Amino acid sequence: MEDLVVVGGGVIGLSCAWRAAQAGRHVTLRDPAPASGSSWVAGGMLAPVTEAWPGEEGLLELGLESLELWPAFAEELSAAAGQPAGLHPEGTVVAATGSGDRAELDALAGHLARLGRPVERLSGRELRRLEPGLGPDVRGGLSVPGDLSVDNRALLAALRAAAEKAGVVMEERAWEPGETAPGTVLICAGAHSAALHPGLAGLVRPVKGEILRLTHRHGAFPVPTRTVRALVDGRPVYLVPRPGGLVVGATQSEHGFDTEPTVGGVRDLLRDAERILPGIAEYALAEAAAGLRPGSPDNVPVVGRLDGRTLVATGHSRNGILLAPLTARLVVGLLGGGAVPAAVDPARFGRTGT
């Protein structure tokens, strides 16, 4: 049995470790604090369509491919772990407030229609019929039933349990730059990956996101069924349902490795979220946290071979949870001697590739 060391115990590292162990590798996962970084902080949207931006059509295709894998991935994971993987099968609505926000959603809907992915446009009243908690400032929007979500913390617990049951050895200590191991090393250290291999220097950067967790309180307006995304005077906000509450996210800024939530970030998220779902004023503010998205130059993941002994799976930017099943599949293919699509290969940046 060949050895694999997976460096990083977030959603990507855990998914790859689990799948590689299932494929017959002897896997060790190295992380001083597994499942505690940006995967723990994340909102957990599986939302390639409502995260789509013109110019990122390749990323949309990857996201749609991974979304298709999600139901079977979650079912298999729940069975292997003996605990729920946290998949929430309800879709997403997108709400706009001012006329500029509605124009932007119209542009997104037009872009998706041109790509052959039409979405349903709804009035404010039609949106409130779907999600009665939406406030009067919501003037229109979209319904995207295929964009789902997952409880990221349930997912991480299930991945860890399934990985351990499949034989993955968890070593809670850091992997130092320059360290080597027998067999293959797979770097999945998210925003921290760049320091771990010269071929990643300057390729992956931390993109801070502040996020809140709200808990439903007795008598408060019920938690929405679907993910609610919104534009509020040009600012994006999302509210993702969880059992007994909501995740509200997320700011986006680049301040190095800063993971402190700020007063301004929390204020902006609460102000915008309350414009969309006024009932959250009665919820409890349970947690404010910040995570570091691993940003890549083109927002597309970096998955492939860096040298004869080293593979990488990082740079998932805003879409790590969504892209976990596809990434694990690509990594297992690489371990079996296969290639990855050129769109994700580090070779696209002139770095060593497959």
Chain positions contacting ligand GLY, by CB under 6 A: 43, 45, 209, 249-250, 293, 318
Structure tokens at 306: 């860096």
Q: Which helix (H) or strand (E) holds 45?
A: strand 45-46
Closer residue to ligand GLY, CB minimum distance, 316 or 351: 316
Q: Are 74 and 66 in contact (CB under 8 A)?
A: no
**Which residues have C-beta within 8 Å of that of residue 346, sequence separation ≥ 6?**
199, 200, 203, 302, 303, 304, 305, 306, 312, 352, 353
CB of 209 to ligand GLY, least distance (A): 5
Closer residue to ligand GLY, CB minimum distance, 310 or 319: 319
How far apart CA 160 and CA 86 sit, in angstroms, is 13
Closer residue to ligand GLY, CB minimum distance, 45 or 200: 45
Closer residue to ligand GLY, CB minimum distance, 242 or 318: 318
Closer residue to ligand GLY, CB minimum distance, 304 or 320: 320
Strand ordering across the sheet containing 3-7 = 169-171, 26-30, 3-7, 184-187, 310-314, 302-307
CB of 240 to ligand GLY, least distance (A): 9
Q: Are 303 and 340 in contact (CB under 8 A)?
A: yes
DSSP class of residue 83 equals S
Query: The tokens 């979209």 sit on which residue?
Result: 142
Chain centroid, CA 245 distance in Å: 19
CB of 43 to ligand GLY, least distance (A): 5
Beta pairing partners, 239: 228, 248
CB of 154 to ligand GLY, least distance (A): 17
Give the up-direction half-sphere exposure of residue 211: CA atoms within 13 A in the CB hemisphere. Answer: 25
User: Strands 310-314, 302-307: parallel, antiparallel or unpaired by DSSP?
Assistant: antiparallel
Closer residue to ligand GLY, CB minimum distance, 43 or 261: 43
CB of 56 to ligand GLY, least distance (A): 13
CB of 42 to ligand GLY, least distance (A): 7
CB of 321 to ligand GLY, least distance (A): 8
Closer residue to ligand GLY, CB minimum distance, 81 or 323: 323
CA angle, 229 then 236 then 153, to 5°: 60
CB of 74 to ligand GLY, least distance (A): 18
Closer residue to ligand GLY, CB minimum distance, 153 or 351: 153
User: How many C-beta neighbours within 10 Å does residue 218 have?
Assistant: 5
